[in-house]
């Protein structure tokens, strides 16, 4: 089985080549046909998924359609450190290839290469903070500038 080109994934952009190789060795390949479910809302989150090709449709029972995750994007980064249920359902909108970095594999990475694990968490938290800001801006509406 071939390893992914980890340079495709923005979440790994700050890693050096050796660190990306360490991560690539820990990834598990997941292939989905169009319409196949990756995970369901409420299921226990097991780790972070990197989308190599294709796209996933994201939805939740509370909100409905949430959007789409396409090649180069990641899903579930907080599940590397936070145990709990998935907040959404992910279904392949196209034939897709993903790579799973399980929580267990991430712990192994943190032991073997703490710097790489820290960089991944920093990138994940930056993405999360950006998403929170976007949602807050959406609810706040237009701001006046003083």
Backbone angles phi, psi at 145, to 5 degrees: -105, 130
pLDDT(144) > 60: no
CA-based angle 89:109:44, to the nearest 5?
A: 25
pLDDT(145) > 60: no
Asked whether the beta carbons of 11 and 127 are under 8 A apart, the reply is yes
Q: How many other CB atoms are found less than 10 A from the CB of residue 89?
A: 19
Of 79, 55, 50, 83, the residue nearest 69 (C-alpha) = 55
Structure tokens belonging to residue 90: 């992910």
Q: What is the pTM of this model?
A: 0.86
What domains can be seen in the chain, in order of their start residue? 6-113+121-137 (2.60.120.10)
CA-based angle 89:93:98, to the nearest 5?
A: 75
pLDDT tens-digit map of 45-102? 999 999 999 999 999 888 778 788 999 999 988 889 888 889 899 999 999 999 999 9
């Amino acid at each position: 089985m071939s390893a992914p080109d980890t340079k495709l994934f923005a979440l790994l952009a700050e890693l050096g080549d050796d660190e990306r190789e360490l991560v690539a060795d820990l990834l598990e390949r997941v292939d989905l046909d169009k319409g196949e479910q990756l995970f369901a809302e409420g299921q226990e989150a097991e780790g972070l998924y990197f989308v190599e090709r294709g796209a996933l449709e994201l939805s939740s029972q509370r909100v409905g359609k949430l959007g789409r995750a396409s090649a180069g994007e990641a899903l579930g980064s907080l599940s590397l450190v936070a145990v709990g249920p998935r907040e959404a359902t992910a279904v392949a909108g196209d034939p897709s290839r993903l790579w799973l970095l399980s929580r267990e594999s991430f712990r192994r990475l943190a032991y073997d290469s703490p710097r790489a694990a820290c960089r991944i968490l920093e990138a994940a938290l930056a993405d999360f903070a950006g998403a929170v800001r976007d949602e807050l801006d959406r609810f706040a509406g237009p701001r006046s500038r003083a």
